[in-house]
Amino acid sequence: MANMRTLTFDAVIVGGGGAGMRAALQLAQSGQNTALISKVFPTRSHTVSAQGGITCAIASADPNDDWRWHMYDTVKGSDYIGDQDAIEYMCSVGPQAVFELEHMGLPFSRTEAGRIYQRPFGGQSKNFGEGGQAARTCAAADRTGHALLHTLYQQNVRCNTNFYNEWYAVDLVTNQDNAVTGVIAISMETGESVYFKAKATVFATGGSGRIYASTTNALINTGDGVGMALRAGFPVQDIEMWQFHPTGIAGAGVLVTEGCRGEGGYLVNKDGERFMERYAPNAKDLAGRDVVARSMMQEILDGRGCGPEGDHVFLKLDHLGEEVLHKRLPGICELAITFAGTDPVKEPIPVVPTCHYMMGGIPTNVHGQALTQGADGNDKVIDGLYAVGEVACVSVHGANRLGGNSLLDLVVFGRAAGLFIEQALKEGIEQRESSESDLERSYNRLNRLENSKDGEDVSKLRKALQTSMQNNFGVFRKGDLMQAGVKELEELRQRIANTHLEDKSAAFNTARIEALELDNLLEVAEATAIAAEGRQESRGAHSRYDFPDRDDENWLAHSIYDPTTKKLGKRQVNFSPKQVDTFQPKVRTY
C-alpha cells in the first residue's frame, strides 16, 4: 500500500463494453489523456452477446418513421418512470449515433435499397401507438452486439486509446468533500495495485445479472460499478427494476433474441396455443417484455407449461423456413443446437423468462454526470464521477426497457459523456486530491482478503446469494417473501464479510477477483431487495401479488436507495422534454 504506484490521467474509463468504448473513442479522438480499464480484453465484454439489434428511427424500413414515435414507445415501455428529457435526447440524437457506427464500419445487414436493415421488436409502434407495429431495430444479422463492439474496439485501436486490459477496478477513491479522485485497480497478470488518478472517472461497468441463479448475462456481469458506488456511499436509482427476458433457453439461461419474434416467431403452450393472443390482442408476441414474461409465467403456473415438468413454453420458428432462419438468425440456430439440442428449422425452442437487464443503476443526467441527493432533496452532481451504459440510470428505461434500446443507450450516452468531459477538460476542471487515509479506505477490501486466514468459501456463498434472489425477487413478487429475502441477505452479509482467500499468489489469481466480485453481487442484491420490498405497487417489471396495481399517486417516481441508511427514498421523474409535449401517463396495454 505504502509504495502503491499512481498513474495520472485526464479521464479514466472503467469498462470496455459498448458504452465505455464509445466514451473512450470520443476522448481519444479529441486528444485527451485517457485510460480505459477493463477486467477482460474489451471484445470479451458482455456487449458482444447482444443479438437482435439497436433500435433507432433511421427511417429505413419506413421512410416516414419519426424519433418522436420511438420516444412515445419508450416512455410507454418504461411505464412512465423513464425521464422524458433523457428519452427525448436518446431518440433524437440516436440516428446520428447509429450513422456514425455505420461510418466506422459496423457491418449492418442491408435492405435491397442498400440501407440498414431494420426488424420489428417488442413495444414498437408507428404514429404514437395508432399506426400498428413498427420495424425500428437496426441489425447485423443476430450478432449486432458483436459487430458493434468489434467496430468500436477497432476504431479505438485506430485512435491509440490507452487500454489497461485485464485490470480489475477494486474501489473508488473519494476525498473528504465526497469528490471522486480516481479508482484503485489491480493488474490481473501481475497482481500489482495502482491508483488511477483522474479528473473524471467514468463507470461503464455494465450489468449485474449474476445476482440471480438463472440469467442471460455473462459470468463477468457482477455489478462491480454499482458495488463500488454503494460502498463509496453513493445512491442507486430504481434498482428493484430487473428485466426478465421472455426467451432464455430453459435450463441453460442462454438468450434467444426477441428478434426471433420480430421475424415472425411466436410462443405456444403445451396445447400448441398461441397464448399471447389472449394477453395482448394487438401486439401479441411483440408486447412489452414485462407483459410477455408475466404471461408466460401465468401459463406455466396454470399448468399449461411444456415438458415433463411443465416448466417452460415453446418458441416456434420452423414456419419461417430454413432460408430466413439461416440468413437472419444464424447465431440463434447455433445457440439452440448447442444449448437446447434442438434445431429451430425443425423444432421449437424451450424457453422461460430469465433475468436479463438491470434497468436501475447510478443516477445520472444526460451528460453522464453521476448524481446524489443533497440535504434539501435536490439533485447534486458527484464531483468527478460519471456513469454510462447499463450501470447508469439516466433514466431512459424506467420500469421496463424496450428491446434494442440498450445498445442505443450505450452509444448515445457514451458519446454524450465523452463530449461533455472533453469540453469540461478544455475549460479546465481541476484535479481533486485525496489523502493517504482516503486511499487506505479504498484499499481495505484487498487488505482484508490478503490477511484472511479462515472463513467461508466464495463459490458456496455466491450460490446461496443467487438462490435467494431467484426465489424471492423473481418475475412475481410478494411482500412476505421479499422480507424473508432481505433477512437472508443480511445474514449473507455477515458471512461474506468473512470469506477466505486461500490462494494469495499474485499472477492471474482469479480466486481473488471472484472474492472481490462477490462483495459487489451482495451490494447489488441487497439494494435490489430493499428497493423491491419498498416499492409498494406494480409497475413495469416490478410485479407484486400484494400490490397488483400501478399507484401513480405515490409511486410515479424513481426510487432512490441510500446505502448509508439502507433506506428507500424517492426522486422526481422528469416530465419536461424540450422539443415535444409531455407524454402523460396512461393505462398501459398492448
Partner 1 sequence: MLQVSIYRYNPDTDTEPYMKEYQIDTGGKDLMVLDVLSLAKEQDSTIAYRRSCREGVCGSDGMNINGKNGLACITPVSEATGGKGKLVLRPLPGLPVVRDLVVDMTMFYNQYEKIKPYLVNNTPVPPIERLQDPEDRDKLDGLYECILCACCSSSCPSFWWNPEKFIGPAGLLQAYRFIADTRDTMTEQRLSDLDDPFSLFRCRGIMNCVNVCPKGLNPTKAIGHIRNQLLQQGT
Active site residues: 289
If the CB atoms of residues 357 and 420 are measured against ligand FAD, the closer one turns out to be 357
If the CB atoms of residues 391 and 458 are measured against ligand FAD, the closer one turns out to be 391
410 binds, among partner 1, ligand FAD, none (CB under 5 to 8 A by kind): ligand FAD
301 binds, among partner 1, ligand FAD, none (CB under 5 to 8 A by kind): none
Q: How far is the CB of 459 from partner 1 (least distance, A)?
A: 5
Q: How far is the CB of 525 from ligand FAD (least distance, A)?
A: 16
Q: Which residues bind partner 1 (CB under 8 A)?
A: 40-41, 43-46, 48-49, 58, 95, 98-99, 102-105, 107-116, 140, 143, 146-147, 150-151, 154-155, 157-158, 189, 218-220, 254, 331, 334-335, 338-339, 457-459, 502-503, 505-511, 514
- Cα–Cα dist 240/359, whole Å: 8
- Spell out the alpha helix ranges (H) of 172-251: 224-231
Strands 193-203 and 5-14: parallel
If the CB atoms of residues 15 and 398 are measured against ligand FAD, the closer one turns out to be 15
If the CB atoms of residues 45 and 156 are measured against ligand FAD, the closer one turns out to be 45
Q: If you search the block for the grid coordinates 476522448, which residue do you land on? A: 27
Cβ 109 vs Cβ 324: under 8 Å: no
Residue 374 neighbours by CB distance under 10 Å: 10
Cβ 360 vs Cβ 531: under 8 Å: yes
Q: Which residues bind ligand FAD (CB under 6 A)?
A: 14-20, 37-40, 42, 45-47, 49-54, 144-145, 168-169, 204-207, 216-217, 220, 224, 255, 257, 356-357, 389-391, 404-407, 410
Cβ 275 vs Cβ 361: under 8 Å: no
If the CB atoms of residues 200 and 255 are measured against ligand FAD, the closer one turns out to be 255
Three-class DSSP labels, 23-89? HHHHHHHCCCCEEEEECCCHHHCHHHHCCCCEECCCCCCCCCCCHHHHHHHHHHHCCCCCCHHHHHH
71 binds, among ligand FAD, partner 1, none (CB under 5 to 8 A by kind): none
Q: Give the side-chain half-sphere CA count within 13 A for 232.
A: 34
Cβ 388 vs Cβ 202: under 8 Å: yes
Q: Which of 41, 5, 7 is nearest to 21 (CA)?
A: 41
Cβ 283 vs Cβ 144: under 8 Å: no
Three-class DSSP labels, 477-530? ECHHHHHHHHHHHHHHHHHHCCECCCCCCCCCCHHHHHHHHHHHHHHHHHHHHH
Q: How far is the CB of 37 from ligand FAD (least distance, A)?
A: 5
Cβ 368 vs Cβ 392: under 8 Å: yes
15 binds, among partner 1, ligand FAD, none (CB under 5 to 8 A by kind): ligand FAD
Q: How far is the CB of 445 from partner 1 (least distance, A)?
A: 18
41 binds, among ligand FAD, partner 1, none (CB under 5 to 8 A by kind): partner 1
- Cα–Cα dist 24/30, whole Å: 10
If the CB atoms of residues 136 and 550 are measured against ligand FAD, the closer one turns out to be 136
Q: How far is the CB of 60 from partner 1 (least distance, A)?
A: 8
219 binds, among ligand FAD, partner 1, none (CB under 5 to 8 A by kind): partner 1
Q: What residues form DSSP beta bridges with 167?
A: 187
Q: How far is the CB of 219 from partner 1 (least distance, A)?
A: 6
In a 3-state reduction of DSSP, which class is residue 517?
helix
